[in-house]
């Protein structure tokens, strides 16, 4: 049996987190985009979420929950930004791919500003985030693509896509 690709990506995020602690990361190949195809396996590069009959896949729904548990406090509701941290939807539309997203979430980032540092904390040791980086990405990508609005999304049951998630 083939391993579902989002599960593989979850495992990979943990590997990247471990590598980030010892070395400087992992190079992952860019792949063509074909988002939101419910007949294809869900994975963060090619098909980061699937919407069926107005309901989002369970992993992406989980991403909504994880985002609001760990990121919302700084990045605002639904990725829209706040005075603490930038909007995440614009960079995802304009330049941020999954690899850059994953590396930033795991390693964090620090920017020196005139009024002090604006810090993106590293989540590489936070099991509530690391394992779910592909889910959080799926949620933010669906937001950036205009597929989800800012509320709690209707979702499919866990396992509803039969091994494609
Ligand atoms: C303590 C506040 C804080 C929390 C919590 C936080 N961030 Fe950040 N994040 C920031 C700040 C500040 C920046 C901007 C850093 C900079 O300007 O380089 C940032 C930047 C980012 C970026 C880079 C955006 C870009 O344009 O390249 C990503 C991606 C990101 N955060 C994702 C997340 C995710 C996902 C979570 C939750 C798991 C999260 N952040 C939680 C403060 C936070």
Q: What is the mean pLDDT of residues 88-111?
A: 94
In a domain, 89, yes or no: yes
Closest atom of ligand 1 to 129 CA is 38
Nearest Cα residue to atom 17 of ligand 1: 111
Q: How far is the CA of 34 from the centre of ligand 1 (A)?
A: 26
Cβ neighbours for 11, distance < 8 A, ≥ 6 positions apart = none
User: Any idea what the CATH number is for the domain that residue 138 is in?
Assistant: 1.10.760.10
In-domain check, residue 91: yes
Q: Which atom of ligand 1 is nearest to the CA of 101?
A: 29
For residue 5, being part of any structural domain is answered with no
- DSSP tag of 158: T
- Give the structural domain span for 128: 62-159
pLDDT band at 60 (very low <50, low <70, confident <90, very high): very high
Q: Which residues line ligand 1 (CB under 6 A)?
A: 70-71, 73-75, 84-86, 88, 91, 96, 101, 104-105, 109, 111, 118-121, 123, 129, 136
| From 48, 69, 74, mutation site for ligand 1 pocket: most ligand atoms within 8 A of C-beta | 74
Classify residue 46: in a domain, yes or no: no
C-alpha of residue 163 to centroid of ligand 1, in Å: 31
Does residue 52 form part of some domain? no
pLDDT category at 33 given cuts 50, 70, 90 is: very low
80 vs 2, higher pLDDT: 80
- Mean pLDDT, residues 149-163: 92
**What's the number of domains the chain is made of?**
1
Atom of ligand 1 nearest to the CA of 140: 35
The whole-model pTM stands at: 0.85
Q: What is the 3-state secondary structure (H, E, C) of 27-77?
A: CCCCCCCCCCCCCCCCECCCECCCEECCEECHHHHHHHHHHHHHCHHHHCH
For residue 120, pLDDT over 80 is answered with yes
The pLDDT tens digits for 61-70 are: 999 999 999 9
pLDDT at residue 20 tops 90 = no
């Amino acid at each position: 049996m083939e391993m579902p690709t989002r599960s593989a990506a979850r495992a990979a995020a943990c590997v990247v987190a471990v590598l980030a602690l010892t070395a400087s990361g992992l190079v992952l190949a860019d792949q063509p985009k074909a988002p939101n195809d419910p007949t294809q396996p869900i994975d963060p590069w090619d098909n980061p979420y699937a919407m069926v009959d107005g309901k989002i896949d369970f992993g992406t729904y989980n991403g909504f929950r994880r985002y609001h548990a760990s990121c919302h406090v700084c990045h605002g509701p639904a990725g829209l930004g706040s005075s603490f941290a930038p909007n995440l939807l614009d960079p995802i539309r304009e330049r941020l791919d999954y690899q850059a997203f994953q590396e930033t979430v795991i390693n964090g980032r620090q920017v020196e500003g005139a009024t002090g540092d604006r810090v993106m904390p590293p989540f590489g040791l936070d099991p509530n985030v690391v394992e779910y980086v592909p889910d959080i990405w799926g949620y933010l990508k669906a937001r950036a693509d205009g597929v989800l609005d800012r509320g709690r999304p209707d979702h499919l049951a866990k396992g509803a896509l039969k091994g494609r998630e």
